[in-house]
Amino acid sequence: MLKVFFERIIRSYKNPGFRFDPDISSVMLCSFVCKMLIEWLRGLRLVLFLKLPRFLFLGRGVSFSHLSRIELGKWVVLGDFVTLSGLGRGKLTLGDGCRIGSFSRVVVSTTLNNLGEHIHLGHHVAIGDYSSLGGSGGLDIGANTITGQYFSVHPENHRFDDPERPIRQQGTQRKPVRIGENCWLGAKVTVLAGVTIGNNCVIGAGSLVTKDIPNNSIAVGNPARVIRSL
């Protein structure tokens, strides 16, 4: 009965086709439910900042900066030691059902002298553990896109035109990154500034994406190239 009850909840709010593995025991299920309850209680701390969390689940050590610039949808899950910073011209938004893996950083800006643009994640986006998402030039990820561990996005590049000046003093060139809906980006994929990845794409593990990838493509390599269409 316990499995049936929770299956109905998960199907209603997250995954219509969800079904527990037959080998999941009642003890395993109760342990999982207790963990989620603790994470939900952690999410209630946002009430102290005049934010009303809507089924927000927080792991241990989650940190927020510039919370007024952060918008969270329903059923958002943030893993252990995730960092979210909304400092920027636009906002950091996570759609309904988003999941950010443990030890990941989702940061719009890292400097106060040149604010970044925004980070927008659509509904049911899932980001793997140890990932790094920057929003300096603007980052948009479409609904239902998922990534593996150590995924990184860099919407800016350091300038190095002047050999007489340290690179760190030459500023950056910023360009937006756009990743479409229903994509799968494998572990350790890196996406550089100015890249657009279309809808329904698969990017192989370890790939470095330096150029646009059209819709319905499979791309792999360093630099990534399209090997076939879906």
Residues noted as catalytic:
158
Residues ≥6 apart with Cβ < 8 Å to 152: 131, 132, 133, 189, 190, 191
**Contact yes or no for 140/183 (Cβ under 8 A):** no
Structure tokens at 153: 């996005």
Identify the DSSP state of 213. Answer: B
CA distance 176 to 3: 44
Q: Nearest CA to 179 among 150, 140, 132? A: 140
Angle at 69 between CA 63 and CA 70, to 5 degrees: 55
Residue 157, beta-bridge partner list:
173
H helices of 14-134, where? Answer: 26-43
